[in-house]
C-alpha cells in the first residue's frame, strides 16, 4: 500500500472551520479511482490525512497559511490527471485540490484574453470560448480532465507548440499563493508583484513545488475557418527529407509531428515512419498548402493521404494511443532532442512515440520494459544533446531510477529558487529535479 491514513483528526477539524463541512475529505473516504491516482505519485508508506478542497482564492490562501503555521506539507493538484508525473512525493500531510476554484473571472473577447481560476477544466474553458468563436493555443495530454492550473504547473502542451510555442508564452498574468498564505501576482491585472522574478515562466513546469497557482490570464485565438491534415508515410530517408523541406519552407502548418513506425501501424498507416502535418486557415490556403506538401512527398517516394472530414478523430486517436494505456506497467517519458535527430531517435526507440518536429520535444511510451532498456533510451537522447524524463511509471521503477535524468548545471540555482519560494519545503517535496 502506497499511502496510509493519518489517525490525527485535529488538522482536518480546524481546516473544516475554514472551508466548511464537506470540503476536507479524510483519506479513508476517498473514492477508489482518485485513491489509485494519488498513490501512484507517492513514495510508499506516505501518511496522508486527507484532501482539501478550497472554493476560492481567499480560502486557498487561508488554508496554506494554516499549513505553514503548523508545518504541514501539501501536494497541490486539480483533478489528479497528472498527479503521478515526476518524482515520488514524500511525507505529505494533505493533498490540496483546486477543482472547486473553477470560475471564469473575465473574458475580454475583443482583447483576445481570458482570466480564470486555476481549477477550471480545459474542456470547460474551451466550451466557453467557443461561444465567441475563440480557442486556446495549447493541447494538454488529458483535455477532458486537465485543469488550467495543472496544465501550467506541468508545462503540458503537445502538438500545438509548433505554432503557439510553450504554454508559458501564452500566459499574460498569474496569481499564486505563497508558502505563507500570501497572494502574489504578476503580469495582467497586477495588484502586487514579486520583484525580480518572472512568475509566469517560473511557475510553468514547476510541478507545484514553488507555490499554488490560483488565477491565470491567458491569450486566446480566433477559431479558424478550415482545417486539414496530411499524413505522409515511407522510408526514414524520405520522411527526414520532407520534414527538413517543410520546416524550411514558407508553409505555415499548425502542427508537425513525426510518429514512430509502431504508432503509425496502430493508426492504420502501415509499418513505416510517418509525418502528420496539420494546416488551419481559410479553406483555399489549407487546400493549397496541403497539395504543395503532398507533391513534394510523392516526389520523394512517400505515400500521401489528405484528411479533412475526420481529421479531428485522427488527432484524438494519436493522443489516446500515447497517453491512455490499459497496461499497468506502461512507462511514459518526455524527451527532448535536436530536431535533426528526431527521425533517428524514433528508429532507435523501437516503441510508440511522437516528436514535435519543429522543436524536438516529444513523448515515448514503453510497455513492459526493463530499467536497463529505459536507461539505454535515456543515454541515446543524451548522446543527441537531449534528455529523457520519466513522467508516468510504476512506483517500483521510479524508486529504482532517477526520474528526471537532469545532467545540466542549473541544480544549485533551482535549489536557491526553491529556498526563496518554499523555505520549509512544504510544497510537493521530492517531486522535482534533484529531490526538490
Q: What pLDDT score does 309 carry?
A: 84
* pLDDT for the residue numbered 8: 66
User: What's residue 407's pLDDT?
Assistant: 77
Residues 6+ apart with CB under 8 A from 373: 366
- pLDDT, residue 4, reads 55
**Per-residue pLDDT tens digits for 207-232:** 999 999 999 999 999 999 999 999 99
For residue 337, give the 3-state DSSP assignment. Answer: coil
Buried b vs exposed e over 280-293: b needs ≥16 C-beta within 10 Å? bbeeebbbebbeeb
Q: How crowded is the C-beta side of 97, counted as CA atoms within 13 Å? A: 21
pLDDT at 5: 56
430, 43 in Cβ contact below 8 A? yes
Mapped onto helix, strand or coil, the DSSP state of residue 416 is helix
Q: For residue 329, which of 405, 263, 390 has the smallest C-alpha distance?
A: 390
What whole-number distance in Å separates Cα of residue 335 and Cα of residue 431?
A: 18
The residues facing 307 across adjacent strands are 229
Sign of CA dihedral 57, 34, 201, 429: positive
- In Å, what is the CA distance from 95 to each residue of 24, 283, 320? 10, 48, 27
Position 326 scores a pLDDT of 66
Where the chain has pLDDT below 70, the residues are: 1-8, 189-196, 326
CA distance 329 to 308: 35
Q: How far apart are CA 410 and CA 408, in angstroms?
A: 6
How far apart are the C-alpha atoms of 176 and 279, rounded to whole Å? Answer: 36
User: Which grid coordinates belong to 233?
Assistant: 508515410
Supply φ then ψ for residue 241, to 5 degrees. -65, -50
3-state secondary structure (DSSP) of residue 365: strand
Quote the pLDDT of residue 3. Answer: 63
State how far the Cα of 128 lies from the Cα of 123, in Å rounded to an integer. Answer: 9
Long-range contacts of 140-144 (CB under 8 A, 24+ apart): 141/81, 141/82, 141/319, 141/322, 141/323, 142/81, 142/82, 142/323, 143/319
- The helix or strand, by DSSP H or E, that contains position 288, with its residue range, turns out to be helix 283-299
- Domains belonging to the chain, first-starting first, are 4-100 (3.30.43.10), 104-222 (3.30.465.10), 224-324 (3.30.70.3450), 325-420 (3.30.70)
What are the tens digits of pLDDT across the range 162-179? Answer: 999 999 999 999 999 999
The answer to whether 332 and 393 are in contact (CB under 8 A) is yes
Amino acid at each position: 500500500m502506497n499511502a496510509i491514513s493519518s489517525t490525527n483528526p485535529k488538522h482536518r477539524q480546524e481546516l473544516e472551520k475554514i472551508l466548511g463541512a464537506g470540503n476536507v475529505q479524510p483519506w479513508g473516504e476517498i473514492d477508489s479511482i482518485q485513491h489509485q491516482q494519488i498513490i501512484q505519485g507517492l513514495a510508499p508508506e506516505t501518511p496522508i490525512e486527507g484532501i482539501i478542497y478550497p472554493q476560492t482564492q481567499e480560502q486557498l490562501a487561508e488554508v496554506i497559511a494554516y499549513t505553514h503555521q503548523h508545518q504541514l506539507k501539501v501536494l497541490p493538484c486539480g483533478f489528479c490527471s497528472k498527479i503521478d508525473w515526476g518524482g515520488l512525493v514524500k511525507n505529505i500531510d494533505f493533498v490540496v485540490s483546486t477543482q472547486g476554484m473553477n470560475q471564469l473571472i473575465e473574458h475580454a473577447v475583443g482583447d483576445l484574453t481570458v482570466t480564470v481560476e486555476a481549477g477550471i477544466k480545459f474542456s470547460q474553458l474551451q466550451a466557453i470560448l467557443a461561444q465567441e468563436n475563440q480557442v486556446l493555443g495549447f493541447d494538454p495530454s488529458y483535455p477532458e480532465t486537465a485543469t488550467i492550473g495543472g496544465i501550467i504547473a506541468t508545462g503540458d502542451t503537445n502538438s500545438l507548440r509548433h505554432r503557439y510555442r510553450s504554454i508559458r508564452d501564452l500566459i499574460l498574468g498569474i496569481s499564486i499563493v505563497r508558502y505563507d498564505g500570501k497572494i502574489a501576482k504578476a503580469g495582467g491585472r497586477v495588484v502586487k508583484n514579486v520583484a525580480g522574478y518572472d512568475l509566469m515562466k517560473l511557475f510553468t513546469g514547476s510541478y507545484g513545488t514553488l507555490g499554488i497557482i490560483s488565477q491565470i490570464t491567458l491569450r486566446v485565438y480566433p477559431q479558424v475557418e478550415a482545417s486539414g491534415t496530411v499524413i505522409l508515410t515511407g522510408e526514414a530517408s524520405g520522411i527526414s527529407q520532407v520534414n527538413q523541406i517543410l520546416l524550411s519552407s514558407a508553409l505555415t502548418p499548425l502542427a508537425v509531428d513525426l510518429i514512430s513506425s509502431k504508432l503509425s501501424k496502430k493508426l492504420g498507416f502501415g509499418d513505416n515512419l510517418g509525418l502528420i502535418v496539420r494546416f488551419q486557415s481559410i479553406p483555399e490556403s489549407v487546400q493549397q498548402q496541403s497539395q504543395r506538401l503532398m507533391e513534394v512527398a510523392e516526389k520523394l517516394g512517400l505515400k500521401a493521404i489528405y484528411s479533412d472530414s475526420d481529421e479531428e478523430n485522427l488527432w484524438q486517436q494519436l493522443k489516446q494511443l500515447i497517453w491512455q494505456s490499459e497496461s499497468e506497467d506502461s512507462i511514459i517519458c518526455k524527451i527532448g532532442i535536436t530536431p535533426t535527430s528526431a527521425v533517428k531517435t524514433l528508429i532507435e526507440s523501437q516503441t510508440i512515440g511522437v516528436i514535435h518536429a519543429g522543436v524536438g520535444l516529444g513523448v515515448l511510451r514503453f510497455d513492459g520494459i526493463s530499467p536497463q532498456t529505459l536507461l539505454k533510451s535515456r543515454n541515446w537522447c543524451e548522446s543527441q544533446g537531449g534528455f529523457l524524463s520519466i513522467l508516468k511509471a510504476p512506483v517500483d521503477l521510479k524508486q529504482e531510477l532517477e526520474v528526471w535524468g537532469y545532467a545540466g548545471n542549473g541544480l544549485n540555482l533551482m535549489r536557491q529558487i526553491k529556498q526563496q519560494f518554499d523555505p520549509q519545503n512544504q510544497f510537493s517535496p521530492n517531486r522535482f529535479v534533484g529531490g526538490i
